Structure formats: C-alpha cells, structure tokens
Amino acid sequence: MPFEDDLLLFLGIETVCEVKFFNRVQFGDAVFHSRKYKRVTRRNNFTVAYQQEEETRYGQIEIFFVVPHYPVVTSGAVIAPMSMSEHRVCEFNEFLGNTVHHIVSLKDPSKKRFDIVRLENIIDICLYMKFSDNEVGFAAHFPNHFEKD
C-alpha cells in the first residue's frame, strides 16, 4: 500500500494488521466512496473537501480505515491530496454579481504523499469534472444535498 507509512505515522502504531479497511461509508446524510469502490461508475463520490491544519483542502479518498482496539476507536480516510491550480473558472460572475467560490480548479491527485483525515474533518463530497484536453480538473460544491429529481 503506497500510503502505509503515512497511516502508521498518523496512528502511531507498528503494523497495519490492527487496521480494518473498507471502501464506502455513510457519514451523516452522505455516502462516501473510495477510489477502490467499483460498483458505482457513473459518478465520482470520492472527491472531497476536508479540513486539515486550519484550511480547506481537496483530494480523492483512497480508502477508509478503522482501528477498533486503539485507546479510542479511530476512524478516517486516506486521501490523495489535490493542490489548487492558479487557473480560475471565473473571477467575477456578472449574472450572480459575485466571485465564484464554489468551483475550484485542482491539479491531479498526488500519489507520493497522503493526508490521513478523521471522518469528522471531511466537509463535503464534490462534483469533480476532468476534461481530456486539460491538465486541470474542477471540483464544485453542491448547492443543495437534499433536493432530488
């Protein structure tokens, strides 16, 4: 597992034998998937916004984990971070009369280092759009998680 060292360092344990891994979780009203979850192929439920070191970051969930025999049960996600791009969708939208903050441009996820995030620090599932003719992808926050078609 390419993220094993990052996970062991975060948890402060010697081996991943104590860790249970899984591919999806329901947290609150949202269902999150990891990249390894293969039953859903039409949408991406693994690109998320999360809180780390007092800032909002973006990334793609590699896998979820739980350590049941830890002093306190610890659960979280291993996330491949995506750095922000300088490219903007739109600085100012005349129709909205405001700056567009809910769509961010992101570089491809890093597979060299991983962020380990507790489940409660995952802020939101994002709609991720990547086009073949561009090296930058876009993550958009849903305006409404409750309304259905």
Q: What is the CATH number of the domain that holds 31?
A: 2.30.30.490
Q: Which tokens sit at 8?
A: 């062991």
Token couple for 7? 């996970």
Integer Cα distance of 117 and 68 in angstroms:
16
Q: Which residue has the tokens 């049960």?
A: 73
**Nearest CA among 122, 136, 134, 109 for reference residue 50:** 122
Does residue 149 form part of some domain?
no
The percent of residues above 70 in pLDDT, for the chain, comes to 79
Instruction: Supply 115's token pair.
Output: 């962020």
Residue 146 covered by a domain = no
Residue 31 resides in a domain: yes
**pLDDT band at 128, cuts 50/70/90?**
confident
| pTM of the predicted model over 0.85 | no
- 2 CB neighbour count, 10 Å cutoff: 12
Host domain of residue 58: 4-141
pLDDT computed for residue 41 by the predictor = 62
Mean pLDDT across the stretch 2-17? 87
Residue 129 resides in a domain: yes
Number of separate domains in the chain: 1
- Considering the domain boundaries, does residue 85 fall inside one? yes
| Average pLDDT for the chain | 81
Q: How confident is the model at residue 51 (pLDDT cuts 50, 70, 90)?
A: very high
Lowest-confidence region among 52-66, 80-94, 101-115, 118-132:
80-94
Nearest to 45, CA basis, from 57, 33, 35, 37: 33
Confidence of residue 88 (pLDDT cuts 50, 70, 90): low
Please report where in the chains the tokens 């979820």 appear, as a residue: 64
| Residue 112 pLDDT exceeds 70 | yes
